[in-house]
Structure 1
Amino acid sequence: MSDLATTQDLDAGLERHRRELTGYCYRMLGSSFEAEDAVQDTMVRAWRSIDRFEGRSSLRSWLYRIATNVCVDMLNAGNKRARPMDLTGPTPVAQAQLNARPEVTWLEPVPDGRVLPSVLDPAEAAVERESIRLAFVAALQHLPPKQRAVLILREVLAWKAAEVAELLDTTVASVNSALQRARATLAERRPGEADAADPLDEQQQELLKRYVAAFEGYDMKALTALLHEDATMSMPPYDLWLQGHGNIVGWMLGVGSVCRGSRLVPTVANGVPAFAQYHRRTDGEGYEPWALIVLELRGGAVGGMDFFLDTGRWFPLFDLPAALGPDGSPVRAR
C-alpha cells in the first residue's frame, strides 16, 4: 500500500485530490451532481482496492484511472449533456414557447470552488477557467468518451502522452491519434473567445455594476446598451433560446416581465461572473429564488445570459441564501 500506511493517511491522500477530480469529472460529464457522484464512486473503489495499489504510479494517477473508468461507464449508460443552442435554432420572440425537457438533457453550471484549485500559476489558472466555461464543456460533449478523456488530460491538465497512454492502457500513438481527432471535432464547435474575467478589471466591474442596475430597475434601454449585438439568452430546463436585442427585450417585456422588481446577488460559476436572481414574493415579504444567471462577457459587453431556473438544485449547490428579506438582506435556511 506504498506510503499510505494508515487509514488516516489514506483519507488525507484521497481528499487531497477530490477537488481536481471533481473538475475532471465535470468536464467529462457536464453535470455538477454527476461529477460529485463519480468522484464519490472513485473514492469508494479506491478504498476497496487499495491493497492492489502497488505504488508503481502515483496515487493521483491511480485515482484518475479509476475516475476515467467511472465516467466512461456513466457516459456509456446515458445521454450527453447539451445547451439549448445545441438542440435547436434561435426562436423569434413572436414564436417563443416554453417546452421543458428532462433535467438529464441539460449541461449544468458548477461553482468555481468545487472544481478549480485554490492556488495555481496564473497561466494554468486561465486554462482551468476557460475549460469549465459552459460553451467549452458543451463542445466536449460531442466527443466520444475516450477522446474526451484524452483531450482533457493532454490539453487542460497538461499530462504527457506517455502518462495518458499508461492511464488508458493504450499506446502513445493511439493517444496522439485520439487527440488529433478530438481537436478536429472541437475546432468545428469550439466557442468563440470570451473576455478573461479573473480578476475582473475596472471596465468589467463597471459593466457588471451597470448590468445589475439595469436588470433590477428593469430598464431595457440600459440593458440593451450592455448586450453584444448577437447576445443570446437561454433558460434551462426549457429548450427555448433567443438571440439579438429585439428578441431578448421582447421576451423580457412579455412573458419575462415577471422578473420585474428582482434582486441580484453576485456569485461565480464556470469561471465567469454569475448572479443569483431573487423574485419579489407575491405577499411583498421579501424575495424568493428564481434563477441562477451565468454571464458570458465578450468584447467588453454581455455576450450570453444563461438563466438556470431549477433553483431547488442550484442555490444550495452554490451556498446561496434561501431567500432575501424585504430590504434585500440574506435569509439563510434554518
Structure 2
Amino acid sequence: MPAVKFWGTRGSIPVAPNARDIRSRLEQVLIKAVDAGVATYDDITPFLDSLPFPDVSSFGGNTSCVEIDDGAGDYLLCDMGSGLREFGGYYLKNEALQRSKTFHIFMSHLHWDHIMGFPFFTPAYLPGHTIKIYGCHSVLEQAIKAQHGSPGFPVNFDNLAANIEFHVFNPGQTVQVNGYEVEALLQLHEGDSYGYRFNKAGKSIVYSTDSEHKVEDQKELDRFVQFIKDADLVVFDAMYSLLESVTLKEDWGHSSNLMGVELCLRAKAKKLCLFHHDPIHNDDEIFQNLEEAQSFLSLITPENQQSLDIVAAWDGLEITL
C-alpha cells in the first residue's frame, strides 16, 4: 500500500521556533504537569500523551516536499522545498532504503519556496544518481538552473554530478511514472500552479498546493471537484482560515481549511490533509485551523454519515493508504 510522507509542509518561507517560544512552551507544559500531579517517571509518558498536539509536538518549518512511496521502484516526490534536504539526508544515511538511485520530482510551480531545497539535495552532487524533474511550465529547466551559481549560490548547475533531466508536459496528458498514471490540473495562482493526481492499483492521491478557489467561480470549483473525485487522499493548500482567505488574503493565490472540507465532501474524497501552512501561524493557530475544519464537517454532516477524515500535515507525518 502506498504511503505519503511529508518532508516539508510550510508555505512561502521556512520557519523555526526561537528560544523564547520554546521556553514559553516548556513553562506551559510544566505548569500543566504540576496541576496534573505528575510525580514519578512513570507518570511522564501518560501525561504527555494526554496533551494536545501543539503542547508536545510541532507542525515543523520546512517548505513543501512530499514523497509518495509504495516501497518499490524509484523515488517519487512532489516539489523541492527545503524539506527536500531532509529527505536527501535521510536517504543517504539509511543504506537499506537506497533501493534506487533515481528520483522523479513533480513541480507544482517554480516559486522560490518550492525549489529552494534543490541546491541542498545531496544526491544531485553524486555521480550515478538520476533526477527527473517534471512540470507544466515551459521555463521549468531555466528556473531550476537559475538559482545555482553567482551571485546567489556558490555551485554552478553544470558542476552537479548527477544526471538531471527535465520533462515538460501539458494538462490533459497522462504521464506514466514509477507505475503511476499522473494527471495535471492548471490552478489559480500567480504565475500558474499545477495540481497532480497520482493513480495506481485502485488508489488515488491528489497533491494540490498554491491554488485559490473562489466561491463565485462555480465552473472552476466544479472542475476541481471532478479532478479530486473519489480520491483516497487530497493534500490541499489550506494556508489560511476562511476569514483570512476572503478578507486580507483574498487574491493571494491560496485557499482555506473550510474550502478544503467543502470541495472534498462534494468530490466524495476519503481523506483531506491540510497543507502549506502560513509561516506566520504558530502551532496553536495551525491546530485551530484543523479543529475549525473538523467542527465545520460536524456542523454540515451528521456524525453517523461522516466519511471524510481530516488531518493537518506536519514534517514527518506518514499516511498509509
TM-score (norm 1): 0.27
Using the size of structure 2 for normalisation, the TM-score is 0.27
Query: Rg larger in 1 or in 2?
Result: 1
| Structure with greater strand percent | 2
Structure holding more helix per residue: 1
